[in-house]
Amino acid sequence: MQKKLDDSGMDAAKPGEASNPYSVGDPAEFARNMVKVGQQSQKLLSDFLKRQNGSGKEPVDPLNISEPFLALMRAMATNPTALVDAQFRLWKDFLGLWESTAYRMLGGEARPVVAPAPGDKRFKDKDWQENQVFDFIKQSYLLTANWIQNTVAGVEGINDDTRKRVGFYTKQFVDAIAPTNFVLTNPEVLRTTMQSNGENLVNGLNNLLEDFERGKGQLSIRQSADSFRIGENIATTPGKVIFRNELLELLQFEPTTAEVYERPLLIFPPWINKYYIMDLRPENSFIKWLTAQGYTVFVASWVNPDRRLAQKSFEDYMREGIFAALDAVEQATGVKDPNVVGYCIGGTLLTATLGYMAATRDDRIHSATFWAAQADFSEAGDLTVFVDEAQLEALHQQMENAGGVLEGSKMATTFNMLRANDLIWSFVINNYMLGKQPMPFDLLYWNSDTTRMPEKTHLFYLRECYKENNLAKGKMVLGGKKIDLTKVTLPVYLQSAKEDHIAPYRSIFKTTKLFKGPIRYILAGSGHIAGVINAPVAKKYQYWTNDSYDGLLKPYPKKVEDWIAGAKETPGSWWPDWDAWLSQHSGKKVPARKPGDGKLKTLGDAPGAYVKIKAT
C-alpha cells in the first residue's frame, strides 16, 4: 500500500505519532532568523569581495586545472560513441532506481541499486536509509558520481599523468556536489534548521565570518576547538632544549628508567608540521613510550621559518639540521654514532643525507629508521597531481608574493584535499550548516597548527623528488656530491602504512631496492598519522612482517604484492617490533643520562620556543 506523504514530500505523521520533524516549529522566529541569514550573507559576500581587491598578483590558475581538462575534452570529442554509450548506461541505472523507488513507495521491499563505499561516513543519518525521499536523493547522487568518475577514467587518448590529474579533480567536484553539503538535501541539517527555526544557520554564518577573519580573507576552517596549550595539555613529556640554531631546537627528554641504552636515539620529524605529533597526550606519546623502553631520546623541533630564512636550502637543512644535531648529541652524550629516525619529509632528508655521508665516508649514524618516508617517488600517490612545471612556477610566484615562504594554510589545504570529505566537507556541515563548534581533538589541533616552507628548500624538494625523482635515480646533488643510495650499507628499518595517502606503502617499499645494507620492512594498519602514532596500550590496528627477506642474503622482491603474499599479520601496534630491532643496535645499558649532564647546558624546558611560533 502506498505511504501517505505530507506537502513537503516527507512521510506524514499518523495519529498519535510525533509531528513531522521537517516542519517549522515557530514560523515567526524562523522568518526572523532567515532575515539575519540574509543580512549576514550580504555582509560576508561584501567583505569577501573587498578583500579580493588588489590581489591580482596571484596566478589565475595556480593548480593548472585547465590543461588536463582541455586534454580530456579533446579526447572525448574524438570518440562521441563512447560518450553516448556512457549516457545510455546512466539512463539504464536510473531506470532501475526509479523502478526500485516506485516499488518501495507501494509498500514493497527493494534492495538498494547502489550503496556508499565502505568507510563513507556521509550517509550515516538514519533517514538516508529509512526516508524514501532522501534514500532516492542519496542513490541518485551515488549513481551520478560513480558514472562521472568511471566515464572520465575510461576516456582513451590521454596520458597517465593527465588521467590521474583529471580523476583527482573530478573526485573533488563530485565530493563538493554531494547532497550532504546542502541544507535542503541533508536530512540532519534540514531537521535541525526546522526544529531550531533556522538558529543553526545564523550560528553557522557567524562561524564562517570568524573563519574568514582568522584567515585574513581566506577561509580557514577550524577542525578542533582551541582548547589545547602546547606544554600544558599537549607536548608535556619532560625534557630540555640543549641546542638551538636558526633551523632547529634540539630537545633531550628526561629518562624514566634507571638505566638506558648506551647509543642514543635522534629523531627528525617533518618540518611541514610540528614535532609534537609524537607527544600529543601521555597515553599516546611516542616519545614518552620510548623513554620508558630505556632510550635516551633527542628530537629536532624545526623552526617555523619566516622570510628571513626564505633562501635556506635543502643542503642547509642537512648541515644545520642533521649534522648540527649529530654534533650536539655527541657533545651531550659522548656517543658519536646514534641511531637516527626520519619521519615523512624528515625521512627523505635523512635518506639524501645518508647518501651524502656515504660519499664522504662519514660514519656518524649507526642505523636509520624511516617512518612513512619516501625515497623513490615514482609511485608517490595523489600529491603528484600538484607537481608539474606550471604549478611549480605558480607556487614560486605565490611564495615570492609572500616574502619567500609558502604560508602554512596553503600546505594545509593541499593535504586536506587528499581527504576532502573527512577534512573539509564534514567541518563545513558541522560548523556552518549545523552551526556547531568543532570538538576538541588533539590530532586535528596539531593538523591545523601549520608551518611555513622556505622557498628554496620547498621548490628543490618538489622538483628533485616529486617531479624528477632524482634522489632514487642517483641524480640529486648535495654539497657537490652526487647522491648514490646504493652506497648506503647501514642497518635500516622501514615502516609504511596500508592506508597512507601521503606516503603510499607501494612507494616506500621501493626503498628496499635502493639501500644495500640489512633492511627490515613492515606494513602497519591505518594511515600516515595513526599508522605511525599507535601506542600499544590502545590495542588498535595491526602490522605485517615477512622474515623471508632481509635485503642481504634474502633480497626483497620487486613487487610489494609478492612480499604481502607471505607476510604474517600481528594484532596491535608495530612499536614493540621496532623496539626489538632497535635494541639490538643500541649497545649495552648504562646509567641514565639527564639533559645537561654532558658538555651542553640546558637552554630551557621542552617543548621549547620554536614549536610555539604560529604561522600567521
Identify whether 344 is a catalytic site residue: yes
**Residue found by looking up cell 547502489 in the block:** 114
Cβ-Cβ contacts under 8 Å for 229 (sequence gap 6 or more): none
| Dist. CA 409–CA 395, nearest whole Å | 13
Cβ-Cβ contacts under 8 Å for 40 (sequence gap 6 or more): 202, 205, 206, 209
Catalytic-role residue among 344, 352, 385, 411: 344
**Residue found by looking up cell 619567500 in the block:** 404
Could you tell me which of 485, 491, 541 has the C-alpha nearest to residue 357?
485
Cell numbers describing residue 465: 623528488
Q: Is 513 helix (H, G, I), strand (E, B) or coil?
A: helix
Cβ-Cβ contacts under 8 Å for 549 (sequence gap 6 or more): 512, 519, 521, 555, 556, 557, 563
Cβ-Cβ contacts under 8 Å for 132 (sequence gap 6 or more): 3, 11, 101, 104, 105
**Residue found by looking up cell 577550524 in the block:** 222
Cβ atoms of 587 and 261 closer than 8 Å: yes
Q: Is 576 helix (H, G, I), strand (E, B) or coil?
A: helix
| Dist. CA 569–CA 557, nearest whole Å | 19
| Amino acid, single-letter form, for residue 449 | D
Q: What is the DSSP string of 551-570?
A: SSSSPPPSSHHHHHHTPEEE
Cβ atoms of 529 and 506 closer than 8 Å: no
Cβ-Cβ contacts under 8 Å for 482 (sequence gap 6 or more): 359, 474, 475, 476
How far out from the chain centre does Cα 545 lie?
25
How many CB atoms within 10 Å of residue 513? 18
Parallel/antiparallel/unpaired status of strands 297-302 and 248-253: antiparallel
Q: What is the DSSP string of 132-167?
A: HHHHHHHHHHHHHHHHHHHHHHT--SS-HHHHHHHH
Phi, psi of 261, rounded to the nearest 5 degrees: -65, 145
Instruction: Give the DSSP H or E segment for 342.
Output: strand 339-343
Helices 160-176 and 66-77 pack at an angle, to 10 degrees, of 100
Q: Is 400 helix (H, G, I), strand (E, B) or coil?
A: helix
Residue numbers annotated as active site: 344
